[in-house]
Amino acid sequence: MRVLGIETSCDETGIAIFDDQHGILSHQLYSQVKLHADYGGVVPELASRDHVRKTIPLIQAALKDAGLDKDDIDGIAYTAGPGLVGALLVGATIGRSLAMAWGKPAVAVHHMEGHLLAPMLEENAPAFPFVALLVSGGHSMLVRVDGIGRYQVLGESIDDAAGEAFDKTAKLMGLDYPGGPLLSRLAEQGTPGRFIFPRPMTDRPGLDMSFSGLKTFAANTIAAEGSDEQTRADIAHAFQAAVVDTLAIKCRRALKETGLKRLVVAGGVSANRYLRAQLAEMMQDLGGEVFYPRTEYCTDNGAMIAYAGMQRLKAGVFEPLEVKAVPRWPLDTLDPA
């Protein structure tokens, strides 16, 4: 069985073909980063228009790359939410319409379920149940995962997502959009311990998180200390250490509360090297194991959508003839497959 996956929820057009015997047969990605860079953030209308330009050519490229014809595809999975509604509508409309024209089923995929299942594409895939830390530009959450569609949200950010906090702080420090990876690189030159940022919401019970205060803390530190090159690197280091430490404390707590030993980390921020190093150390200490997607599947991509869609199609779930786009869609309202 082969599924074509279409991801257009934000600023990346991702197309992939997943085969349940042979894995990913083709994976195409077009990033709109350059388009939005001048504005310092994603401009929704520009994002939608660019998805219109890129989606169909990338589907053609994926089929060609995999040496397949439309008749070799058994179903189409598209991201239906959460995300920017205009951007979602492009992928949803193309996915739903192609499926109708080709006489194949279409399935609407939850973007965060895609991220959550991305480590399943690796050779060393985690077994259920596990705790997932999802950290992207739009969401930060801890989820207990007992199977496909069996998700219990244990905690989430009450304000900015972790990636959003990285991007906003990076912007304050004069780094280009999206600043997360650049800030993380700058942090590697920083002096540990010169500045200490707070670890928000770790001194009280619970698994919710908050990251917007750290951005303000960074702004105040820059105002007080100036922004010569070394000071900026030291601030970046302190910011990153605070975010990562906070995430690690919450993960440790979630594992303790659930009694689970497997941790999955996914979403754009899971590409962060410092986060990976800290969590590896923590999991060794706890005698557990941590799983990640490969770097290219940490950020938005079509492969995770094709994979998640395949699981739904196999369970006999597909959409009626309507275009489904859900900008706000709680993860724990999905049905088990």
By CB under 6 A, name the binding residues for ligand KG4: 10, 136-138, 163-164, 166-167, 178, 180-181, 184, 267-269, 271-272, 299-300
Residue with tokens 């192609």: 98
Asked if residue 245 lies in contact with residue 198, where contact means CB atoms within 8 angstroms, the answer is no
CB of 208 to Zn ion, least distance (A): 20
Chain-centre distance for alpha carbon 143: 14
Contacted entry of ligand KG4, Zn ion, none for residue 178, CB cut-off 5 to 8 Å set by kind: ligand KG4
Min dist CB 299 to ligand KG4, Å, is 3
269 binds, among ligand KG4, Zn ion, none (CB under 5 to 8 A by kind): ligand KG4
Q: How far apart are CA 18 and CA 22, in angstroms?
A: 8
* 164 lines the binding site for Zn ion (CB under 5 A): no
SS3 159: coil
Is 136 or 270 the residue whose CB approaches Zn ion more closely? Answer: 136
Q: Are 10 and 138 in contact (CB under 8 A)?
A: yes
Residue 140 binds Zn ion, judged by CB under 5 A: no
167 binds, among ligand KG4, Zn ion, none (CB under 5 to 8 A by kind): ligand KG4
Angle at 21 between CA 18 and CA 26, to 5 degrees: 30
Q: Supply the minimum distance, in Å, between the C-beta of residue 205 and ligand KG4.
A: 27
Contacted by 163, from Zn ion, ligand KG4, none: CB < 5 to 8 Å by type: ligand KG4
CB of 282 to ligand KG4, least distance (A): 18
DSSP 8-state assignment for residue 201 = T
The residues facing 76 across adjacent strands are: 4, 106
Q: Provide, rounded to whole angstroms, the least separation between the CB of residue 18 and ligand KG4.
A: 19
- Would you say 249 and 125 are in contact if contact means Cβ atoms under 8 Å apart? no
Q: How near is the Cβ of 77 to Zn ion at its closest, in Å? A: 15
Of 73 and 265, CB closest to Zn ion: 265
Nearest CA to 326 among 113, 150, 66, 83? 83
Q: Which does 7 bind (CB under 5 to 8 A by kind): ligand KG4, Zn ion, none?
A: none
To Zn ion, the closest distance from the beta carbon of 209 in angstroms equals 17
At 227, give phi and psi (nearest 5°). Answer: -140, 45
CB of 54 to Zn ion, least distance (A): 17
How many helices (H) and strands (E) are present in the chain, helices listed first? 10, 10
Contacted by 234, from Zn ion, ligand KG4, none: CB < 5 to 8 Å by type: none
- Residue 229: partners with Cβ closer than 8 Å, 6 or more residues away: none
| Secondary structure (3-state) at 157 | strand
Give how far Cα 176 sits from Cα of 76, 181, 251, 294, Å: 35, 10, 30, 24
Indicate the residue among 99 and 236 with the shorter CB distance to ligand KG4.
236
> Binding mask 281-310 vs Zn ion (x if CB under 5 A, - otherwise)?
-------------------x----------
Q: Is residue 12 close enough to count as binding Zn ion by CB under 5 A?
A: no
Residue 75 or 81 having the CB closest to Zn ion: 81
Using the minimum distance from each CB to ligand KG4, give the nearer residue, 105 or 179.
179
> Is 149 within 8 Å of 337 (Cβ atoms)?
yes
> Which residues partner with 107 through β-bridges?
77
Q: Which of 28, 32, 79, 136 binds Zn ion (CB under 5 A)?
A: 136
Pick from 258, 309, 261: nearest CA to 284? 261
Binding stretches for Zn ion (CB under 5 A) = 136, 300
